[in-house]
Chains A and B, each alone.
Chain A
Amino acid sequence: MAIILPDEPTPIAKVPSTENKTGGWRTFRPIINYEKCIRCYICWKFCPEPAIEFDSPDAHPVAKPQLAKFDSVKINYDYCKGCGICANECPVNAIEMILEEKLEED
Chain B
Amino acid sequence: MRHLPIPEEEYMLPGHTACLGCGATLVMRYLLKALGKNTILSIPACCWAVIPGVYPRRALEVPLLYTAFEVTGAAISGIKEALNAMGKEDVNVVGFAGDGGTADIGIQALSGAVERGHDVFYIMYDNEAYMNTGIQRSGSTPMGAWTTTTPGGKKRMYKWEPKKNMAEIMVAHKIPYVATATIAYPEDFIKKLKKAKEIKGPKFFQVFSPCPTGWRVPPNKSVEVSKMAVLSKAFPLYEVEHGKYRITVKPKKFVPMKDYLKMQGRFRHLTEEEIERIQEEVDRNWEELLLKEKITQGETHEI
Interface presence of B58 (CB below 8 A):
yes
Name the interface residues of A51-106: CB closer than 8 Å to any CB of B: 51, 54, 57, 69-71, 76, 78-79, 81-85, 87-89, 97
Residue of A nearest to B23 (CB): A48
Interface presence of A11 (CB below 8 A):
yes
Interface presence of B134 (CB below 8 A):
no
Interface presence of A13 (CB below 8 A):
yes
Interface presence of B220 (CB below 8 A):
yes
Interface presence of B5 (CB below 8 A):
yes
Interface presence of B253 (CB below 8 A):
no
Cα–Cα, bound, A95→B18 (Å): 22
Interface presence of B290 (CB below 8 A):
no
B219 in complex: contacting residue of A12, A70, A84, CB < 8 Å: A84
Residue of B nearest to A57 (CB): B1
Is chain B's interface secondary structure helix, strand, loop, or mixed overall?
A: loop
Residue of A nearest to B12 (CB): A50
Of B21, B212, B218, chain A has the most CB atoms within 10 Å of the CB of: B21
Say yes or no: A11 contacts B1, CB within 8 Å: no
**Given contacts A19-B57, A87-B220, is CB(A81)–CB(B13) below 8 Å?**
no
Binds A, one of B172-180, B221-229, B262-270: B221-229
**Given contacts A17-B15, A48-B26, is CB(A41)–CB(B58) below 8 Å?**
no
Is chain A's interface secondary structure helix, strand, loop, or mixed overall?
A: loop
Say yes or no: A76 contacts B14, CB within 8 Å: yes
With an 8 Å Cβ cutoff, the count of chain A residues facing the other chain is 39
Task: Mark interface residues in B269-280 (1 if CB within 8 Å of A CB, else 0).
Answer: 000000000000
Say yes or no: B56 contacts A48, CB within 8 Å: no
Chain B residues positioned under 8 Å from A81 (CB to CB): 20
Chain B residues positioned under 8 Å from A11 (CB to CB): 55-56
Interface presence of B59 (CB below 8 A):
yes
State the Cβ distance, B16 to closest chain A Cβ, in Å: 5
Interface presence of B186 (CB below 8 A):
yes
Task: Mark interface residues in A40-53 (1 if CB within 8 Å of B CB, else 0).
Answer: 01001110111100
State the Cβ distance, B82 to closest chain A Cβ, in Å: 14
Say yes or no: B59 contacts A17, CB within 8 Å: yes
Interface presence of B52 (CB below 8 A):
yes
Say yes or no: A50 contacts B14, CB within 8 Å: yes
Task: Mark interface residues in B8-29 (1 if CB within 8 Å of A CB, else 0).
Answer: 0010111111101111011001
**Given contacts A13-B52, A16-B58, is CB(A70)–CB(B2) below 8 Å?**
yes
Chain B residues positioned under 8 Å from A70 (CB to CB): 1-3
The 6 nearest A-B residue pairs measured at CB: A84-B220, A79-B14, A83-B21, A83-B20, A17-B15, A20-B15
Residues on B lying within 8 angstroms of A by beta carbon are: 1-6, 10, 12-18, 20-23, 25-26, 29, 52-53, 55-59, 183, 186, 212, 218-224
Residues on A lying within 8 angstroms of B by beta carbon are: 11-22, 25, 39, 41, 44-46, 48-51, 54, 57, 69-71, 76, 78-79, 81-85, 87-89, 97
